[in-house]
Amino acid sequence: MAAEDALTRGPRAWLPALGALALAGGAGLLGAQQPPLPPATRAPAATLSRPSSAAKPPDGAGFLQRWLVLEPIKVPGQLTESAVRAAIGNEYFPNQLAVIPRDGQAVTVGDEPLLWHALDTRNYNVNLYHFAYALNKPTSNVLFWAVTRVEVPHEMRNVRLAIGSNAASIWWLNGQEIIAIYGDRQAVIDDGVSKRVTLRNGLNTIRAAVVNAGGATDFCARFLDADDNPVREISVRLSQEQP
Amino acid sequence: MTRFALAAAAMLLALAPGLALDGEPGMHDPSTVIEADGKFYVYATGNGLPAFASDDGWTWHRTGSLMQAVPGGKPGPDVIARGGNNSWAPDLIRSGDKYFLYYSAPGTQPKSAVGLLVGRTLDPASPDYKWDDGGPVVWSDGVEDSNAIDPGVMRDPTNGTMWLTYGSYFGYIRLVELDPTTGKRLHPEAKPVNIAINSEASVLIFREGWYYLLVTHGSCCAGGNSTYNIRMGRSRKVTGPFVDNMAIDMLQGGGKLFAGSSGRHIGPGHFGLLDLGDGVQKFSCHYESDLDRGGISVLDIRPLLWRDGWPVAGENLTAGTYEIESARTGTALEMAVQGTPVGGRGRGGPGRGGASAAGRGETPPPPIPGQDAAQVGSNWPAGPIDARMAPYMLQAQQKWAITPVDHAGGYPGSPYFKITIAGTDRALAATGDAELTVVPVFSGEPEQLWRIDQLADGSYRLMPKRIPNTTERLALSAIGSSMPTLEKFKPASDRQRWLLRTP
């Protein structure tokens, strides 16, 4: 849903925006003539926390719950294939399709410094709206980069990455693009599924770019085996150091 | 070709009736179609019991007469004595390592007998191919209320017992139990059970606790004036009573319609079950008159569906343009190109509707034409393009022309189809890694040919004729909301069930 649409059509989409205005100090809809208030300190995202262990196994349904997420980058928020391709095609920071970031690492996009955050999610999905809102960052017309690494005890052939995202997203495994879904969409489990891929022994890098236009934004991801069962004998390890 | 002409051609294709099989399907009173060692066999009424075979269930050819393999070349003497020297309307079943073939041997009806032949192979080329006379199994003396022709044989899947129904118009359809080891009556002294009346070509089938008796009503053998139609009743017990959907006993003339005349085919009769496994069932029948073949009687094989506890005669798929919708996800198969909204971007939307325009006294906007490949295809890449799934939006990359392919073989009831983006030659194909692609031009390769079987619930299973690099037979599968692939068919899952909707 486009941003202007979010404010004119969908109450689901603009309710959080009203909440954000209220939390920002009551500038509200009547405060257009008032000077902007300084950003308020917001509570941490309820569904997200900093990792407290070296590795994290997938949850019972195989979902990967530990990610490095970059603070949102402002983009036009169009969700067609060509628009998403154009948004992803910009180089926002060096080596953006290969970098393995560290928690707290900063990149500069335009003239804005953005930080990578290591996150554990309590749910099957990573709520990017919670993430950005808690940081007082925009949630509409934005691009999120997310990276995680899964440690695989032995080579696994014929598995598939299965994701859901709100909204459009493109996904890479070890540098190869394997999923692209476009349009305004909800995060549905196993919405986008890759062709059969091989997870190599050791660390494998999964990278995602999620573009949101308006309203909620989140993603979920897991691997499915050849019988479509969740792959659970892997673990997420964000650090580059071997155990 | 103009766009109008293209549309007209598409309409004609959509309306074209399905052809009842290929090759030499001309026959009357066919037996159950039997699959053995990868081939299909069927036998019919006529001098010496004409025999037919098919490598794929689509193209049939005459292989001779069954009686050629019987010592003496005709019914055994006891059969002739109880009935007559004719040979009609056979049915057969495999039991252990033997085939039992039952045939009608009428004299002057209703004096008739049902004879038994016993063989070990159906392949005329096998050195073991021969049929031995098993004598008469049941008969009618010409006076009693029975005419012992038109045998139909069933194995009860609940307990392995075997049952024979028979009869035609002169009185009752009757039931006797058979010995699965000999093919003869298990209790020859027992009185046959009357289970229906005023019909012929009876046979029993079983499903989910119900025995179904299918019979043929009406008259045969009058070409386009034949009123043959297949009717049915059901019972919780193999011995009946068999009642129809209005609780009328088939002994009192009841019978729910299963199949009547339709399309270009008049007078279906002689139901036979062809269970292909994995939940895919078909039925065979003959039409008294196939208008596309000058009115001769021909064999056909059609999907067998089930609804509300009753079998339903499905129709073989005909050429047309379809949306291919996943029963799992509700999303539609499409070629992975960026779609263009129907009518173009910026058309329609709130405030532009006809009703509101009319309410303001304005002229409603003109209709928006449908979208076809000619309008938007110039934006599509020239090479192979992935297949994917997306919400159906009436767009050209989501409309598939499904067209039978000549001389490419087939499967029971249908030829192979090509599946192309309507208005183009871009064809859905299997890849060497068991995924899907849309190739720029249909070339007729086996990975571009599709078997499309209708399943019991009316949805469809789509399988490529061949997948490069594997002998596995895989089906089009919705692996996720947006991703089709090829996977082993799982009958209980919605993953491989597809709805073919008219766009």
* pLDDT tens per residue across span B318-373: 999 999 999 999 999 999 999 999 987 665 554 454 556 666 677 888 999 999 99
* pLDDT above 50: residue B280: yes
Distance CA(A182)–CA(A171), nearest Å, equals 12
Query: B193 in contact with A at a CB cutoff of 8 Å?
Result: no
What global pTM score does this model have? 0.88
Catalytic residues of B: 29, 200
The residue of chain B nearest to residue A80, with distances taken between CA atoms, is: B338
**What would the CATH number be for the domain defined by A45-236?**
2.60.120.380
B390 contacts in A (CB within 8 Å)?
Answer: 183
Residue A19 has phi, psi (to 5 degrees) of -60, -40
What's the confidence (pLDDT) of residue B356? Answer: 61
Which domains are assigned to chain B? 3-11+319-340+375-501 (2.80.10.50), 23-313 (2.115.10.20)
* Percentage above 70 pLDDT, chain B: 93
What's the confidence (pLDDT) of residue B42? Answer: 98
B480-499: pLDDT as tens digits: 899 999 999 999 999 999 99
- B435–A196 C-beta distance less than 8 A: yes
* pLDDT above 60: residue B203: yes
Contacts of A183 (CB under 8 A, 6+ apart): A79, A80, A167, A168, B390
Measure the N-to-C terminal CA separation of chain A; round to a whole number of Å: 43
What's the confidence (pLDDT) of residue B358? Answer: 61
Mutate to test the interface with B, among A190, A223, A227 (most CBs of B within 10 A): A190
Distance from CA of B487 to the nearest CA of A (A): 9
Distance CA(A179)–CA(A170), nearest Å, equals 6
- B479–A190 C-beta distance less than 8 A: yes
Token pair 């489990």 in the structure block, residue:
A189
Mean pLDDT estimate for chain B: 93
Peptide bond just before A167 cis, omega within 30 deg: yes
Query: B390 in contact with A at a CB cutoff of 8 Å?
Result: yes
What's the confidence (pLDDT) of residue B7? Answer: 39
B479 contacts in A (CB within 8 Å)?
Answer: 160, 162, 190, 193, 224, 228
Q: B163 in the Ramachandran plot: left (φ > 0), alpha (ψ -120 to 50) or beta?
A: beta
SS (H, E, C) B293-322: HCCEEEEEEEEEEEECCEEEECCCCCCEEE
- A183–B479 C-beta distance less than 8 A: no
Distance from CA of B389 to the nearest CA of A (A): 9
Query: A227 in contact with B at a CB cutoff of 8 Å?
Result: no
What's the confidence (pLDDT) of residue A44? Answer: 87
The mean pLDDT of B30-38, rounded to a whole number, is: 97
* pLDDT above 90: residue B296: yes
Paired tokens of A84:
């998403």
What's the confidence (pLDDT) of residue B479? Answer: 92
The mean pLDDT of B393-404, rounded to a whole number, is: 98
Distance CA(B25)–CA(B18), nearest Å, equals 14
B435 contacts in A (CB within 8 Å)?
Answer: 195-196
Mutate to test the interface with A, among B338, B388, B474 (most CBs of A within 10 A): B338
Tell me the residue ranges of DSSP E strands in B74-182.
88-95, 98-106, 111-119, 131-141, 152-155, 162-166, 172-178
The mean pLDDT of B140-162, rounded to a whole number, is: 97
Cβ(B408)–Cβ(B459) below 8 Å: no
Query: B445 in contact with A at a CB cutoff of 8 Å?
Result: no
For chain A, domain boundaries: 45-236
What's the confidence (pLDDT) of residue B223? Answer: 93
B338 contacts in A (CB within 8 Å)?
Answer: 80-82, 182
Query: A53 in contact with B at a CB cutoff of 8 Å?
Result: no
The residue of chain A nearest to residue B481, with distances taken between CA atoms, is: A191
- A183–B390 C-beta distance less than 8 A: yes
* pLDDT above 90: residue B45: yes
A195 contacts in B (CB within 8 Å)?
Answer: 433, 435, 483, 485
B405-440: pLDDT as tens digits: 999 999 999 999 999 999 999 999 999 999 999 999
- Pick from A82, A183, A192: CB nearest B480: A192
Going from the first residue of chain A to its last (243 residues), give the mean pLDDT of each consecutive group of 10, the final group possibly shorter. Answer: 32 33 34 52 90 95 98 94 94 95 95 96 97 96 98 97 97 97 95 97 97 96 96 89 39
Largest CA distance in chain B: 91
Peptide bond just before B241 cis, omega within 30 deg: yes
C-alpha Rg value of chain A to the nearest Å: 18
Selected residues 130-169 of chain A with any CB under 8 Å from a CB in chain B: 160, 162
Distance CA(B203)–CA(B439), nearest Å, equals 46
